Amino acid sequence: MKVSSGEKLTRFIRYSSHFSVVTNRVRPDAFLPHKNEVNISVFRISEITEDEVWKIGQEYVHTEKRPVKARADIFASDVYENNLEVIPVEPPQRHANITPLPVDNSPTNRKARRSLATKLATLSKLAIPPEEN
Amino acid sequence: MRIRRNRVSYPSHPIQLESEFMGSPNVLLPTSHSMSLQTYENNPPIMDDRTWSSMFDVNLYLSWTDDAEQQLKEIRQEADEAYTLDDEIDPVPESAYDDVLFLLKAFFHFGIPMPDLSWAEDGSLTLGWYPEEGTITIGIYGDNLVIFTAFFKEKRQLEGICELSDTPMLAGFLTTLLNTLF
């Protein structure tokens, strides 16, 4: 079962260089998983509060050495427009994958992966944890 | 190989190339630079407009490379720490850092503004520009390839790959990048 196009998704970001508070932008690197990975892990966040969204990040993504530093919010419709799917993969609750990225096994596929990451980053909105504001 | 004009202001027309460019990325900073400075201590040069202009360019170039190296140092630290904690992350190869520094020096000569630098879990470095209406990036994996992607919210997009060692293609690519930015 696919996620409906009106749903809002978020990708939790754990690295400072994957976003910029100065430009208020998510960088494509936030949507570039390691080479053999064809899924981008996200959570479905429609109809829950900001506090609840951050709580999901704390519970399932945050670690002591790699805390959640920001998130990239994007609508499922923007994902579908780029010929990708959003597939629920639970548990954990509300988890889903944006898929399939091309496997990084050739320059052409690598370009395609970067192109998709660039689009998703451009269409997403940066959110910073409340204590960071 | 050399570029005709050096500047940091952003030209509104394509840069003219005399021949090839990338073979001498240090065109502003020849290897005899430090020797010349030592000589100045005993024999101060006549400071005409041309000399002032040349020194201004050298100072700008040094400032530019310092900034680039500092940014790369910060990126390397974060990427190395991440790799230490998660062996699924692809390490950024040393050659990628070298390639980025090489490109950044070329940008200076082309009048291309300093990009934001970042790294990704696929072992790449990203040079990015983030105008309000879109994103322009170059991906570097240390394999001699330059992967260019630009996407704007009105759905306009550009993509391309060129080899770092293919000087004519790279010069054309940098001109395209300049035109995309301005």
pLDDT in tens, A83-100: 999 999 999 999 999 999
Distance from CA of residue B166 to its chain's centroid?
Answer: 16
- Put simply, the answer to whether B126 touches A28 (Cβ < 8 Å) is yes
Is the Cα dihedral A73, A75, A80, A85 positive or negative?
positive
Distance from CA of residue B137 to its chain's centroid?
Answer: 12
Categorise residue B118: left if φ over 0, alpha if ψ from -120 to 50, beta otherwise.
beta
Orientation angle between helical segments B94-110 and B49-85, nearest 10 degrees: 150
SS3 A94: coil
* Res. B76: pLDDT tops 50: yes
> Pick the residue with more confidence: A65 or A8?
A8
- φ, ψ of residue B176 in degrees (nearest 5): -60, -45
| Assigned token pair, B131 | 């105008």
Residue B91 one-letter amino acid: P
- How many Å apart are CA B146 and CA A101, to the nearest integer? 20
Nearest-CA neighbor of B178 among B31, B10, B3, B9? B10
* Chain A residues inside the 8 Å CB shell of B78: 15-17
* Res. B78: pLDDT tops 70: yes
- φ, ψ of residue B23 in degrees (nearest 5): -75, -20
- Put simply, the answer to whether B120 touches A32 (Cβ < 8 Å) is yes
| 0.90 surpassed by pTM | no
Confidence (pLDDT) at B172:
83
Burial letters B3-27, b for 16+ CB under 10 A, else e: beebeeeeeeeebebeeebbeebeb
Residue B128 one-letter amino acid: G
Chain mean pLDDT for chain A: 93
Confidence (pLDDT) at B33:
28
* Chain B residues inside the 8 Å CB shell of A20: 116, 130
- Residue pair A50/A103 in contact (Cβ under 8 Å)? The answer is no
Q: Does B166 touch chain A (CB under 8 A)?
A: no
For B155, which residue in chain A has the nearest alpha carbon?
A119
* Res. A36: pLDDT tops 50: yes
- Put simply, the answer to whether A29 touches B118 (Cβ < 8 Å) is yes
* Res. A27: pLDDT tops 60: yes
* Chain B residues inside the 8 Å CB shell of A37: 88, 121
Per-residue pLDDT band at B161 (split at 50, 70, 90): very high
H or E, element range at B150: strand B145-152
Reported ipTM: 0.91
Residue entry with tokens 């300049």: B178
